Amino acid sequence: MSWADTLRTGWDAVRTHRLRSLLTIVGILIGIASVILTVGFGQGAQADVRAQINALGSNLLIVSPGSTTDSAGIRGGIGSATTLTMDDADALGSAVVAPDVAAVAPVTSSSQSLTAGATNWTTSVNGTTPDWLGVRNRDVASGRFITEADLETEAAVMVLGPDTAAELFGPIDPVGETVTIGGTAFTVVGVLDSVGSSSSSTDEDDQAIVPATTASTRLAAGSAAVSTIYVEANTADTLSAAYQEVDAALMTAHGLTATDEPDFTISTQESLLETATETDRTLTILLAGIAGISLLVGGIGVMNIMLVSVTERIREIGLRKALGATPAVIRRQFLLEASVLGLTGGVLGAGLGVVGAQLLPRIVDQPVEVSAAAMTGSIAMALAVGVGFGVYPASRAARLAPIDALRSE
């Protein structure tokens, strides 16, 4: 029997029992579609996180204060100390100290209650410099950003995030309006463009920006401590060099030696991206494993239908053997039937996965990415499931003795 005859015979056997074959194919179809969509969700989440982090700048360093330790020996988290100052930021901005640093933006952050007329809203108020806009890769939607003149005069001016502006003023243009913080009146001079939430779950659209000098004198009682120093390297290629320069400059400024534990931490966008990606990858593997269980169920369905087929076709198998069919031909016939079931389920499941990847983002607001490699791999997996779970039934059919098969009722 040629391969063409074997294929035709296998297809006829599958078509003869349409409902049973359809249910088996559905089992594989669901498994393949689940695997594709699960992996697609994971890849979409990774791409989303990567885009959000890269939007902050691929050549960005984030310097945070160290941790505190109280009298009982209990240590606070990173950033709980006040070890960074405006002097540190000024030192990092020196071309002599850090030649690979393009710009520095120190930030003093505190939670404040903002009042506009009869409306109030509590948000993060950040005191910083004009370089913050470029370092954080932000734009102004209306009005202007703070200027060097605002810093020098300690001007009571403020730039609002779009969500903050909406909470305080609704549809009204806030530029030129007044916002009060603790009795101090600030004039709104601009509104930031929207960027959404960052990978750290912080709403970057809900904040207020004021000059660093104004924040120090009017909101922090003259404190020179800063919460974070954002450092922009000249290019992404010089990020490593800038890291070394920032580390060395701060160690020197704080009187620390190589054997001392730094009282600050430096993180990069790459490290944040790697952490977020690793988390997403772990969740993707977990969900893909769960989806794989449904694929396993589909494989068991293939084995079940093939075993039933062998039982129902004992006399046919005996007749083929009596006419000269070898065990290899019988085995090939049943393996081909199982392969048809697996391949059909794989192709239909891949198609369902593609359709789902187009529809689900509109429902759950989560990107789903389906790659060609995932499609090809899923179809190959379905075929492997069909062949793998069809080996035992095919071998069982091939071992039947012709005389026993022919006299079977």
Please give the chain's pLDDT, 409 residues, in tens: 566 666 666 666 666 767 777 877 887 888 888 888 887 887 777 777 666 666 665 688 999 987 644 444 444 444 445 689 999 999 999 999 999 999 999 999 999 999 999 999 999 999 999 999 989 888 999 999 999 999 999 999 999 999 999 999 999 999 999 999 988 999 999 999 988 654 445 678 999 999 999 999 988 877 778 999 999 998 878 888 999 999 999 999 998 888 888 888 888 766 666 666 677 677 767 766 776 776 677 777 777 777 776 666 667 777 777 777 777 777 777 778 778 888 888 889 888 888 888 888 888 777 888 877 778 877 887 788 777 877 777 777 777 676 665 565 5
**262-309: pLDDT as tens digits:** 888 888 766 666 666 677 677 767 766 776 776 677 777 777 777 776
* Whether the Cβ atoms of residue 193 and residue 224 lie closer than 8 Å to each other: no
> Is there a single domain that holds both residue 279 and residue 252?
no
What pLDDT is attached to residue 106?
95
Give the type of residue at 378. Answer: S
Q: Please give the structure tokens belonging to residue 88.
A: 């540190």
204 and 109 together in one domain? yes
Q: What per-residue confidence (pLDDT) applies to 55?
A: 61
Instruction: Using alpha carbons, list the distances in angstroms from residue 283 to 38, 279, 349.
Output: 10, 6, 22
Instruction: Tell me if 41 sits within 8 A of 291, measured CB to CB.
Output: no
Q: Is residue 68 part of a domain?
A: no
Does one domain contain both 281 and 252? no
Domain end position, chosen among 262, 285, 312: 262
Exposure of 373 in the CB half-sphere (CA atoms within 13 A): 4
Same domain? For 232 and 101 the reply is yes
What is the C-alpha to C-alpha distance for residues 246 and 59, in angstroms, rounded to an integer? 13
Output phi, psi for 299, to 5 deg: -65, -40
Predicted pLDDT of residue 192: 95
Residues 225 and 284 in one domain: no
Residue 289 lies in a domain: yes
Angular region, 106: left φ>0, alpha ψ -120 to 50, beta rest: beta
Of the residues 194, 229, 262, the one at which a domain ends? 262
Nearest in space to 330 (alpha carbons), one of 392, 383, 399, 384: 399
- The gap between the terminal CA atoms of the chain, to the nearest Å, is 26
- Asked whether residue 285 is domain-assigned, the answer is yes
Query: Which of 262, 286, 307 delimits the end of a domain?
Result: 262
Residue 209 lies in a domain: yes
User: Contact 139/204 with Cβ under 8 angstroms?
Assistant: no
Are residues 118 and 94 both part of a single domain?
A: yes
Number of separate domains in the chain: 2
Q: Given this model, what pLDDT does residue 69 score? A: 42
**Residue 258 DSSP label:** T
Classify residue 78: in a domain, yes or no. no
Q: Give yes or no: residues 258 and 402 share one domain.
A: no
Best CA proximity match to 161, nearest among 198, 122, 193 = 193
State whether 231 and 209 are in the same domain. Answer: yes
- Tell me: do 144 and 194 sit in the same domain: yes
Q: Is residue 57 part of a domain?
A: no
CA angle (248 as vertex; 246, 253 as ends), nearest 5 = 95
396 in a structural domain:
yes
What pLDDT score was predicted for residue 22? Answer: 82
CA dist., res. 5 & res. 23, Å (int): 25
How far is CA 94 from its chain centroid? 36
100, 233 contact by CB (below 8 A): yes
Residues 111 and 229 grouped into a single domain: yes
Q: In terms of domains, do 253 and 121 share one?
A: yes
Cα torsion at 203, 105, 127, 193 (round to 10°)?
-40
User: In 10 A of CB 28, how many CB atoms?
Assistant: 31
Using CA atoms, how far apart are residues 22 and 389, in angstroms rounded to an integer? 17
Q: What range defines the domain where residue 151 resides?
A: 84-262
Task: Mark whether 43 and 165 lie in a shared domain.
Answer: no
Inside any domain, residue 32: yes
